[in-house]
Amino acid sequence: MNEKMMNIKKIALEELKDLNKEADVLNCKAKYLGKKSELNELLSSLKDLSVEEKKVMGPLLNQTKRELEEAFSKKIEEINNHIDYDFDETLPVYAKTGSLHPVTLVIKDMTDILKRMGFTVVSGPEMEKEYYNFEALNIPKDHPARDMQDTYYLSNGDLLRTHTSPNQVRAMQKYGAPLKVCAPGRVFRNEDMDANHETTFFQLEGMVIDKGVSISNLIYVMRSLLSETFKKDVRVRLRPGFFPFTEPSFELDCSCLMCDGKGCPTCKGAGWIEFCGCGMIHPNVLRESGIDPEEYTGFAFGFGVTRLAMMKYKIGDIRVLNSGDVRALNEFEVE
Ligand code: FA5
């Protein structure tokens, strides 16, 4: 029996060696390991052996079966890793060409509009120092305002920026006053996700510092920016807000374009979507960055660009934008 078993193994492995198609390997496997295979017959005839013989042959037959199974699996894996594709290079390509992401398009539109107004585009790191994200923005350690934005801290003591406002400080310290800059970028917050909250989203920061800058300048820039971005009139409302780095502070809401302000799951029934925080730059922030608040004033704003993209392209759930699902993103009419 032992000799027969060794012989079966030898022939099976020889035959397997020359195969290069998965179907052939499977046929070969059925031949040598299937129900009607010689090896299976040997296994069935174990019952006729004496107890002593069974003790020897049983494990040997099972081991041979396992070894052959492994050899067949290995061969199939090898074949699948080396598939030669036949290409017909003359066939026409019907694949859809790529398109820009809705958020990318909104950022491009908004920065183009701001550039026409004389703003310079600047940027800063996504991994940020606490100093730029908080301290220099008039949010010292243990200030309750730190809880407004749940922060991802890094093991080296830095953090993932929770907003694009650190760019205000970096720009003021680099360029001084007068200043007119905008800074789009990705930000991160450890928040619960829902239809209009993500943990990773985009903001667009803007700031203007000069002599005699006032709230009316802020309102003018915001209004022009929004009407040009949406290419139509959108209903907005400004309400008092609180940010430690601006005084006075405001929040700007846009009438929900998914439901025309009637209330829907996207705006959670409110009819309004919060778009932006803004205000006049706090004197402490100007001073910290070496600008004299007696001489200069300024305004700053931070738009939630991902929410703007939702409204512009009528995307009811913010999570779709980060899903990376091309089929979902292709559904939106993006010019
Ligand atoms: C800020 O982040 C301030 N830095 C904005 C600012 C800049 C104020 C300059 C004053 C001067 P806030 O946390 O409200 O503010 O976020 C700004 C906008 O980002 C919101 O209005 C909203 O449109 C968007 N936003 C906030 N949290 C989320 C989130 N989890 N998912 C998607 N968008 C969000």
According to DSSP, residue 160 is labeled E
- Indicate if ligand 1 lies below 6 Å from the C-beta of 302: yes
Tokens of 177: 């006053």
- Indicate if ligand 1 lies below 6 Å from the C-beta of 206: no
CA of 308 to the centre of ligand 1 (A): 12
The per-residue DSSP string of 240-283 comes to: EEEETTEEEEEEEEEE-TTTTTS--TTTTTSSEEEEEEEEEEPH
Indicate the length of the chain as a whole number: 335
Provide the pLDDT for residue 140.
Answer: 86
Instruction: Tell me: cis bond preceding 248? Omega within 30 of 0 counts.
Output: yes
Owner of token pair 């066939």:
91
Atom from ligand 1 closest to the CA of residue 162: 2
Contact in structure between 121 and 115 (CB atoms under 8 Å): yes
Instruction: Tell me: cis bond preceding 125? Omega within 30 of 0 counts.
Output: no
- Indicate if ligand 1 lies below 6 Å from the C-beta of 189: yes
- Indicate if ligand 1 lies below 6 Å from the C-beta of 304: yes
Provide the pLDDT for residue 14.
Answer: 93
Atom from ligand 1 closest to the CA of residue 275: 23
- Indicate if ligand 1 lies below 6 Å from the C-beta of 279: yes
pLDDT in tens, 61-92: 999 999 999 999 999 988 888 766 677 778 87
Provide the pLDDT for residue 49.
Answer: 87
CA of 302 to the centre of ligand 1 (A): 6
Side chain identity, residue 259: C
Q: Name the residue among 47, 93, 109, 95 with its Cα closest to residue 308.
A: 109
Tokens of 258: 């998914």
Q: Name the residue among 128, 162, 105, 122 with its Cα closest to residue 321.
A: 105
> CA 85, CA 191: separation in Å to the nearest integer?
46
pLDDT in tens, 241-285: 999 999 999 999 999 988 999 999 999 999 999 999 999 999 999
- Indicate if ligand 1 lies below 6 Å from the C-beta of 319: no
> CA 263, CA 59: separation in Å to the nearest integer?
72
Q: What percent of the chain has pLDDT over 70?
A: 96
Greater pLDDT, 314 or 88:
314
- Indicate if ligand 1 lies below 6 Å from the C-beta of 321: no
When pLDDT is cut at 50, 70 and 90, the band that residue 145 belongs to is: confident
Tokens of 198: 């993500």
Provide the pLDDT for residue 333.
Answer: 54
Mean pLDDT, rounded, of the chain: 91
The predicted model gives 27-40 an average pLDDT of 90
Provide the pLDDT for residue 83.
Answer: 63
> What residues contact residue 311 under an 8 Å CB cut-off, 6+ apart?
230, 234, 254, 256, 257, 258, 273
- Of all protein residues, the one whose alpha carbon is nearest to atom 19 of ligand 1 is 304
pLDDT in tens, 185-237: 999 999 999 999 999 999 999 999 999 999 999 999 998 999 899 988 888 89
